[in-house]
Structure 1
Amino acid sequence: MGLLDALLGNASESDIQETQQELARILAANERVEKAYAIIRDQIIFTNKRLILVDKQGMTGKKKEFLSVPYRSIDRFSMETTGHFDLDAELKIWIRGQVEPISKNFRNDQNIHDISRALAEYAL
């Protein structure tokens, strides 16, 4: 993961083995990390069983919220790429039973296509 990409809000792929070790305490038996992306301080993690969204909070990022979404609960998702004047890309994920989607913003659409493809692979 490039430090400059992370600071600018660009998604970058994270090391799978390192992410697996970081999440060892919350992963189920036989659950493995298959893809992981970092966006500034937050993470989007695809395991063989669920989607995990990590929201690091506070100044130090020590406090973390882990949102676990079983793939079967994902109703739909959308991707909005950047344009000439709109430099932010956006990913929205609708979860069954929730009115508002989960929304993640990116500074460009460098890796949003990879994340959208991974969502398609796991959620469809």
Structure 2
Amino acid sequence: MALGFGHIVNGLLGNMSQTSTTELNSKYGIYLLPNEEIDSGFILVRDVIIFTNIRIIYINKKDVTGKKTNIQNIYLMNIIDVEVETAGFGIDDSDIKLTYLKNVQRRPYNEILETVKFEFPKSYEISTLYQSLEALAYQNRLDINNLKDQA
């Protein structure tokens, strides 16, 4: 796929543009786990963020040719906090900041936390994504603290 002018402008402004799940599956389906399905995805010039039913996949193309690729994962079960900043006037964008457990054992009082921020174009309705991620973070907190019955 050739990058259109909109992708380039969004890339220069530092935010992503949404792309189809069909396109994402054809290009990045090789990185999916069995039974993993792409829900949505965004492109930032050469980098890609993909939301699946299991994880968030961040694909970072390296070097001039883009053949060298770094793939990072945030498993949905490890997201514990979500912050959103909506777009204002002018060229502001919206962003979501996720805090997640980096350690494999999901136990209270033994956390290794990491935070990542993703920027989205002002035209993208970020509230739906925020609500989904926040509900997920809340459920993860209940599970980690063994408070399942209080939900």
State the TM-score, normalized to the length of structure 2: 0.64
| Matching residue of 1:20 | 25
**How much does 1:74 deviate?**
0.8
* 2:70 is the alignment partner of 1:65: yes
Aligned-CA RMSD value: 2.8
Instruction: Name the CA distance, whole Å, in 2 between partners of 1:122 and 1:63.
Output: 32
1:105 partner SS = strand
**Runs of at least 5 residues in structure 1 that lack an aligned partner in the other structure:** none
* 2:107 is the alignment partner of 1:109: no
Normalized per residue, the structure richer in helix is 2
> Contact between 2:101 and 2:114, CA under 8 Å: does it hold in 1?
no
| Matching residue of 1:4 | 5
**How much does 1:72 deviate?**
0.9
Larger-gyration structure (1/2): 2
**Runs of at least 5 residues in structure 2 that lack an aligned partner in the other structure:** 103-111, 140-151
Identity of aligned residues (%): 25
**How much does 1:54 deviate?**
1.4
1:101 partner SS = strand
Instruction: Name the CA distance, whole Å, in 2 between partners of 1:110 and 1:70.
Output: 27
* 2:55 is the alignment partner of 1:50: yes
Q: In 2 relative to 1, CA 87–69 (structure 1 residues): closer, same or farther, beyond 3 Å?
A: same
State the TM-score, normalized to the length of structure 1: 0.76
Instruction: Name the CA distance, whole Å, in 2 between partners of 1:102 and 1:67.
Output: 11
Match of 1:81 among 81, 86, 91: 86
> Contact between 1:77 and 1:94, CA under 8 Å: does it hold in 2?
yes
